[in-house]
Copies of this chain bind each other. A is one copy, B any other.
Amino acid sequence: MAGAAGLIIGNEVLTAKVRERNGALLIERLRARGIPLVGLFVVPDDVDAIVEVFLLARRRSRYLFTSGGIGPTHDDVTVRAIALGLQRPVVRVPEIVRSLTEAFKGKPVPPEALRLADAPAGSRLIHGPRLQYPALACDDVYLLPGVPELFEAQLETVLDGLSGQPVVTRLVFLDAHEHEIAPVLDAAALEVPEVEIGSYPTFDPAAGYRVKVTVEHVERARVDAMVDRLVRELPASAVLRVE
């Protein structure tokens, strides 16, 4: 199990106060790195809701990326929820306490700011040249900030340390209704389940096609073989072009 899941945490997203961008970024960056994304979940600032979705995501993926809820206020509950989900206690991380102490230049660090130093026991900090603050990781869970600039910088740094296999995608554009091509696609998908076949109709006359079929696998030869098969088996008049 090598895939990843994303957990976007924040009432502000579900109540339309902000247009969420971190989820789309996560999708794109994981894709570019060849790490399959098995699910993306947007949940409120609620410990129970986060834990429940965390446990579900955890059963389906190795890596988990969270966005948001790691600040110092009452609505920042991500650390507590993820710690519960991992069955680890929350502890204060000495390295973050030292950074805070330096930031406050010798004045006592207020208890609310010290919450920024809380993490699931066993967490590690990931540093990077582009990072103002290190990223927090525990058991393949990466707890990233919701602020988009910080999320992006920390995500890139984390991904530098992971490896995946980029997927090869080819496209077949068709002038046909989906039901006309379904028998061919069904049979191919059933016989060669490891090559991913997608079928996407458009209702936009300006698109220049009616259905776009995608064929994907990490090995180019297998993608090419499937594209050849589909072109051979689909009605010749339906195939507009292959990319």
Select A15's contact among B20, B199, B216, beta carbons within 8 Å. Answer: B216
CB < 8 Å neighbour of A27 from B16, B73, B190: B16
B37–A14 touching, CB < 8 Å: yes
* Contact status of A49 and B38, CB under 8 A, knowing A73-B199, A110-B179: yes
Cβ A74 vs Cβ B41 within 8 A: no
Specify the main secondary structure of chain A where it touches its partner: mixed
A150-B42 in contact given A74-B185, A74-B197 (Cβ < 8 Å): no
If the complex has contacts A74-B185, A199-B73, are A13 and B27 also in contact, measured as CB distance less than 8 A?
yes
Report the minimal beta-carbon distance from A190 to chain B, rounded to whole angstroms: 7
Partner of A20, one of B24, B39, B44, B169: B24
Contact (Cβ within 8 A) A71 B186: no
The answer to whether A160 has its CB under 8 Å from any CB of chain B is no
List the interface of chain A (C-beta within 8 A of B): 11-20, 23-24, 27-28, 31, 36-44, 49, 52-53, 56, 60, 71-75, 110, 112-113, 115-116, 147, 149-150, 167, 169, 177-183, 185-186, 189-190, 196-204, 214, 216
